[in-house]
Chain A
């Protein structure tokens, strides 16, 4: 069982790069502990900014820093970053084209029993709907590190959502294929396509293993780049399989599933099943309890995949 959460992987990359790149600035809103960024604040006090519990200020200050040539990483719980400071993200980051990397931590339903105020099941839809904004949901710690390294190389704003808990590794240290803005084919297959992002990639991979035992060949795409969506990868896979399953830790509206359905519908029409959280405050529980309850686990995904290709 991996013990390193993706947020820690982000801190590790930033700590390494900040040694030589003095333009990297990390900003937190009383969130450095939950962001695993406390070590950065200790090691690089000159490159750290604390704004207090003020997410609008957080993103506004980041945009100002970026416009003056800095490379700000603003880290705050995804629920607040994607709603409280939404207008700053839209106007000051995306519209003004400032190079702010918005790190949404404890995303989705990571905060479990803390309730809907702390869940960000709308962030993919909200952020994706903003022109110029890019949206990334890396699946494991290795991919998270590669993504952050790639994002350090570009000059454009982006929203990155990671979860709170450590997630099982999808890849390994030596084998983590990564091409910026291209989906990773985790498992190749021919009967059914499973497109997943973030924490749902691992159960999707497990589902493919379950399906393989029953003689069903599933292709799993890790769509960490929700926007810009890797349409070619979806079309290529969906063109050879019988049906498509999209899985995400998000509301059923406007997220990965909606986007996948659009692409498949336009280019290679066939059945698409969107697996997501319900359009309701989710049941009280830990992430695992909640995922299990709504069937967002290997068994649930495998069952839907079977249903999809039989229909």
Chain B
């Protein structure tokens, strides 16, 4: 466990390096979803460069597509492509590594970027798995601001209606979006009940605690007869104080000083995790 935690801070440095290289990116949401991605790709999902393209592989859809830097980092470390090349060319002229997921890149299932698309697509993937009697699982990650899109709720409705227990929706509840807190921009009165009312098994966890993440996804896997929704309580910008819980850091590009400060703190937190 301590290993994943320590590793997550190295991965965060890769995310920051990618954003510095491409001169832009969505740093806040990357940092809140990263630990969940590590848990999925290292502990939970049956998908790797070896079985990529196998119809039985587990599927992941990044509905909050702007957090692509976190996804590239995890996929790169898992060997889907060269992370060095990705960091060097990210968002630059002619690069395949653009600022949102694109399925020309190995490891990426669906193109996204426009919010509110992932859940319906994941419902389709899960339905196909049931039709073809395959036992793969489908995961889809959404942001809390994204929940304002009506299509998300159409997906919750169909997922619940078809009782897709091979489907797991993930909500990155970092309480922030671009214009401020989700509470002031467009509030969700009681997200746990709202999702449960659509026929989903809802599991809450600490999105930065690997034991908590593991328990949540294990419970989702064991849940039969209805889809699961894992609610991640997270901190936007998690990893360094200057970017934590600040709406302005949704897509802030760190300057050199900020970069140094972030990297120092990431490495300090890594040390602490190693010594735990």
Per the bound structure, the CA–CA distance linking A90 and B179 in Å amounts to 28
Using an 8 Å CB-CB cutoff, how does the interface string of B104-137 with A read, 1 for contact, 0 for none? 0000000111111000000000000000000000
Chain A residues with CB below 8 A from B100, complex form:
114-115, 117-118
Q: Are A53 and B145 in contact (CB under 8 A)?
A: yes
Per the bound structure, the CA–CA distance linking A114 and B96 in Å amounts to 11
Q: Are A284 and B96 in contact (CB under 8 A)?
A: yes
Q: Which of A50, A56, A80, A112 contacts B185 (CB 8 A)?
A: A50
Among B145, B178, B182, residue most surrounded by chain A Cβ atoms (within 10 Å): B178
Chain B residues with CB below 8 A from A285, complex form:
92-94
Q: Are B114 and A80 in contact (CB under 8 A)?
A: yes
Q: Does A57 contact B (CB under 8 A)?
A: yes
Q: Does B239 contact A (CB under 8 A)?
A: no
Q: Are B177 and A30 in contact (CB under 8 A)?
A: yes
Chain A residues with CB below 8 A from B182, complex form:
52
Using an 8 Å CB-CB cutoff, how does the interface string of A236-249 with B read, 1 for contact, 0 for none? 00000000000000
Chain A residues with CB below 8 A from B178, complex form:
30-31, 33-34
With CB as the reference atom, state the residue of chain A lying closest to B186.
Answer: A52
Q: Are B99 and A113 in contact (CB under 8 A)?
A: yes
CB distance from A18 to the nearest CB of B (A): 19
In the complex, which residues 4-22 of chain A have their Cβ closer than 8 Å to any Cβ of chain B? none
Per the bound structure, the CA–CA distance linking A99 and B22 in Å amounts to 41
B interface size (C-beta, 8 A) = 30
Q: Which of B22, B114, B116, B150 contacts A79 (CB 8 A)?
A: B114
Q: Are B93 and A289 in contact (CB under 8 A)?
A: yes
Chain B residues with CB below 8 A from A32, complex form:
179
Per the bound structure, the CA–CA distance linking A31 and B178 in Å amounts to 8
With CB as the reference atom, state the residue of chain A lying closest to B115.
Answer: A53
Q: Which of A33, A54, A84, A118 contacts B179 (CB 8 A)?
A: A33
With CB as the reference atom, state the residue of chain B lying closest to A80.
Answer: B114
Q: Does A283 contact B (CB under 8 A)?
A: yes
Interface size class of A (residues with CB under 8 A): 20 to 34
Q: Does B261 contact A (CB under 8 A)?
A: no
Known contacts A113-B95, A115-B99, A283-B93, A52 near B185 by CB under 8 Å: yes
With CB as the reference atom, state the residue of chain A lying closest to B104.
Answer: A281
Q: Does A204 contact B (CB under 8 A)?
A: no
CB distance from B71 to the nearest CB of A (A): 14
Q: Does B148 contact A (CB under 8 A)?
A: yes
With CB as the reference atom, state the residue of chain B lying closest to A290.
Answer: B93
- Report the tally of A-B residue pairs with Cβ distances under 8 A: 89
Per the bound structure, the CA–CA distance linking A118 and B115 in Å amounts to 11
Q: Are B145 and A52 in contact (CB under 8 A)?
A: yes
Q: Does B191 contact A (CB under 8 A)?
A: no
Using an 8 Å CB-CB cutoff, how does the interface string of A19-52 with B read, 1 for contact, 0 for none? 0000000001011111000000000000000111
Q: Are B94 and A53 in contact (CB under 8 A)?
A: no
Using an 8 Å CB-CB cutoff, how does the interface string of B83-95 with A read, 1 for contact, 0 for none? 0000000011111
Per the bound structure, the CA–CA distance linking A32 and B179 in Å amounts to 7
Per the bound structure, the CA–CA distance linking A289 and B91 in Å amounts to 12
Q: Are A114 and B186 in contact (CB under 8 A)?
A: no
Chain B residues with CB below 8 A from A112, complex form:
91
In the complex, which residues 253-304 of chain A have their Cβ closer than 8 Å to any Cβ of chain B? 283-286, 289
Per the bound structure, the CA–CA distance linking A119 and B227 in Å amounts to 34
Per the bound structure, the CA–CA distance linking A1 and B99 in Å amounts to 27
Per the bound structure, the CA–CA distance linking A43 and B257 in Å amounts to 34
Q: Are B91 and A53 in contact (CB under 8 A)?
A: no
In the complex, which residues 156-176 of chain B have their Cβ closer than 8 Å to any Cβ of chain A? none
Chain B residues with CB below 8 A from A286, complex form:
93
Per the bound structure, the CA–CA distance linking A80 and B185 in Å amounts to 18
Q: Does B48 contact A (CB under 8 A)?
A: no
Q: Are A53 and B146 in contact (CB under 8 A)?
A: yes
In the complex, which residues 110-154 of chain A have their Cβ closer than 8 Å to any Cβ of chain B? 112-118
Per the bound structure, the CA–CA distance linking A118 and B190 in Å amounts to 31
Known contacts A114-B113, A118-B113, A284 near B98 by CB under 8 Å: yes
Give me the 9 closest cross-chain CB pairs, A-B, nearest first: A52-B186, A117-B113, A52-B148, A113-B91, A114-B99, A285-B93, A54-B148, A115-B98, A53-B148
A-B contact pairs, 23 of them (CB 8 A): A30-B177, A30-B178, A52-B185, A53-B115, A53-B146, A53-B177, A53-B186, A57-B148, A84-B116, A112-B91, A113-B24, A114-B99, A115-B102, A115-B113, A117-B65, A117-B113, A117-B114, A118-B99, A118-B114, A284-B94, A284-B96, A286-B93, A289-B93
